[in-house]
Amino acid sequence: MTKEEQRIEFFIRVREKFEEIEQLAQDFELMEDYLSILCVGLLEEQEEEDSYRVNAISSIFVDSEQEMGSLLTHLAANYDGGAPDTGSIDFWMGQGGDA
């Protein structure tokens, strides 16, 4: 399998995972409250030195810009340049603002 074929297969499988996550919300009858912003990307080195392009796949499941803003605020507030502190209740309860 070529590198390009590997990347295509990767994105196909990522899309399947996005669908699995949404299915979890359906299985737990949480679709009325479900929000998501999912994005996965791969860097692709360009011919210019230190130049990269991002190839990405995303899924946004919100009803309004306000809900999207709340999720993005949560992401920004919890970004610390490293691994998130998943041991903190704040991580799980979301400090991302009101939807």
9-42 residue pLDDT tens = 999 999 999 999 999 999 999 999 999 999 999 9
Indicate if the pLDDT at residue 83 is higher than 50. yes
Please give the full DSSP string across 4-61, using - where no structure is assigned: HHHHHHHHHHHHHHHHHHHHHHHHTT-TTT--EEEEEEEEEE-SSTT-EEEEEEEEEE
**Average pLDDT, rounded, for the chain:** 88
Quick one: pLDDT at residue 82?
Answer: 65
The domain limits of the chain are 1-61, 63-99
Using a cut of 0.85, tell me whether the model's pTM lies above it. no
Quick one: pLDDT at residue 94?
Answer: 63
Quick one: pLDDT at residue 14?
Answer: 98
